[in-house]
Amino acid sequence: MVVNGTTSPLVVSSGFQTGVKLNHQFRIEEGTLYELTLDFDAARSIRQVDNQYFLTPVIRIQANVTSGNISGNVLPVAANASVWTTVGLDTVKSMPDTSGAFKLVALPDGTYAVRFSPVNTAYRDSTVSGVAVTKQQTTNMGTFTLSTQ
């Protein structure tokens, strides 16, 4: 650290042992993808004690929800179908409840192909392409009925 042309060491208070802790006042919801904006306040983060300078980071955090969801129903329930899509190389999957309701969560903005894979071999695998997802929204596909073989 340089103050008035003089270089002084900047001591990081236990940061190397414990890391930086980010305290927040917002609730983190399960199944939601967030983008965090970190605002480092240098003026409040450096304090002087005698001739030593200490770094105690003061960081303001803003959470921005960057994901959306896809919901709907798949029938017949007897098909025992899983519902899934891909995000890059990851698979996002939902097992419908006893009424056939499903929800694919934490999907970034984009357009998805939603796939239905029944365990009951009397029904065909199916795909619905072009399902749009917008952050902070749930796209309801309505009811999808599987075809028999």
Q: Is the model's pLDDT at 41 over the cut of 90? A: no
Among residues 65, 90, 110, the one where a domain terminates is 65
- State pTM to two decimals: 0.69
Q: Is the model's pLDDT at 71 over the cut of 90? A: yes
* pLDDT-based confidence at residue 133 (cuts at 50, 70, 90): very high
Q: Is the model's pLDDT at 17 over the cut of 90? A: no
Of residues 123 and 22, the one with the higher pLDDT is 123
Average pLDDT, the chain: 90
Would you state the pLDDT for residue 39?
A: 82
Distance, CA of 115 to CA of 82 (rounded, Å): 8
Dihedral (Cα; 123, 128, 134, 140), 10-degree rounding: -50
Q: Give the total number of structural domains in the chain.
A: 2
**CB of 123 closer than 8 Å to CB of 146:** yes
80: left (phi over 0), alpha (psi -120 to 50) or beta: left
Would you state the pLDDT for residue 16?
A: 63
Q: Are residues 86 and 125 in the same domain?
A: yes
Would you state the pLDDT for residue 15?
A: 58
Q: Are residues 134 and 73 in the same domain?
A: yes
Q: Are residues 57 and 88 in the same domain?
A: no
Q: Are residues 76 and 57 in the same domain?
A: no
Residue-range definition of the domain harbouring residue 135: 67-139
**CB of 33 closer than 8 Å to CB of 103:** no
Among residues 23, 47, 65, the one where a domain terminates is 65
93-124 per-position pLDDT tens digit:
999 999 999 999 989 999 999 999 999 999 99
Would you state the pLDDT for residue 31?
A: 86
Q: Are residues 122 and 99 in the same domain?
A: yes
Of residues 135 and 25, the one with the higher pLDDT is 135
**CATH code for position 120:** 2.60.40.1120
Q: Are residues 72 and 122 in the same domain?
A: yes
